[in-house]
Structure 1
Amino acid sequence: MTTIGIRATILAAAALAAGPAFALDDTAPQPVVVTPLVSTNVTAAGQPIVLPQKDARVIASLFEIAPGATLPVHKHPSMRYAYVLEGELLVTNVETGAATTYRAGDFIVEMLDIWHQGASVGPDTVRLVVIDQVEGDVQNTLLRAKATP
């Protein structure tokens, strides 16, 4: 291979290794843009993430929570993740009182097996993409029984 051939090969390899850009013009739109949302190994409550060990099943849902609506106190025995598309969601850990407000663009690694409650606190409907990871046909939302007088 000639010196020119070696230089061309090195330049081509460097261009490919540099990323997915397909044009020399930095102002040209890129065909794929990846924006990291979260990288964590713990839940919103600081617990280690625990994945199903057998018969793993993924369930994806779209939730819409009207302005002013409050979800019942509940917990998840398996991992649940949510991405907020719209609105403001206030999630309160009812065991500690700690609360966090999530807004459009936030990714939530939900609390594992901790009683909590969500409420739509802004003027817009909360829209969430929710992903559960469960074993088999396990229900991933358990409601707390209401106290009787």
Structure 2
Amino acid sequence: MRIAACIAAAGLALLAAGARAEESAAVKPVVVTTILSTTTTAAGQPIRLPQGDITLSVSDYRIAPGARLPVHMHPFPRYAYVLEGTIAVTLPDSGQRFVYHQGDVIVEVVGLWHYGVNEGTTPVRLIVFDQVPGNTPATVLKP
């Protein structure tokens, strides 16, 4: 009787192992989905990276509902991923307006004055990537 119980237990263990192997064979360990592939900024400018040694900065921005960023520009490419919320970016000189939602990638304009506004009722959260030569500022405020 003991031998039969051991054989039954071993059979159940083999069945369970087989089921786990089937499950793991169906699960892909790495899935890559392209969110954006572009050669231009939001305004259609070609993306040109700084030459030489650079500093990479990654920042977490949290923008409250109704908050407006000051008018500013970026001398070098800046990228952001919208984790939460919706942000509207306006170029006051041309009137161009871009609206970005959760899951969007922002390829900011370079050398053009602009500002962002959280026009929604929930906070905006962005992860922002800057690459600048040395300690050059990534953002210049309009005087």
Both proteins in one fold, TM over 0.5: yes
Aligned to 2:56: 58
Counterpart amino acid of residue 78 in structure 1: F
1:29: how far off? 2.8
1:132 paired residue among 108, 113, 130: 130
List alignment gaps of at least 5 residues for structure 2: 1-20
Which structure has the bigger radius of gyration?
Answer: 2
Q: Give the 3-state SS of the residue equivalent to 2:29 in structure 1.
A: coil
Q: Hey, what does 1:18 align to over in structure 2?
A: none
Matched residue, 2:91: 93
Aligned to 1:68: 66
Task: Give the equivalent residue in structure 2 for 1:113.
Answer: 111
Q: CA RMSD in A?
A: 1.7
Structure 2 length normalisation: TM-score?
0.81
Deviations 1:96-134 (A, max 9, x none): 001011000000110001000000111110000000010
Say which SS state the counterpart of residue 26 (structure 2) adopts: coil
Which structure has more helix as a fraction of its residues?
Answer: 2
Matches within 5 A, 1:9-88: 28-88=26-86
- Cα distance in 2 for residues equivalent to 1:82 and 1:24: 39
Give the percent of matched residue pairs that are identical in Structure 1 and Structure 2: 52
Q: Distance in 2 between matches of 1:124 and 1:93?
A: 23
Q: CA deviation at 1:28?
A: 2.8
Name 1:15's counterpart in structure 2: none
Q: Write the deviation string for residues 31-69 of structure 1: whole angstroms up to 9, x where unpaired.
A: 111111111110011001010111212110000000000
Question: TM-score of the superposition, structure 1-length normalised?
Answer: 0.78
Aligned counterpart, 2:11: none
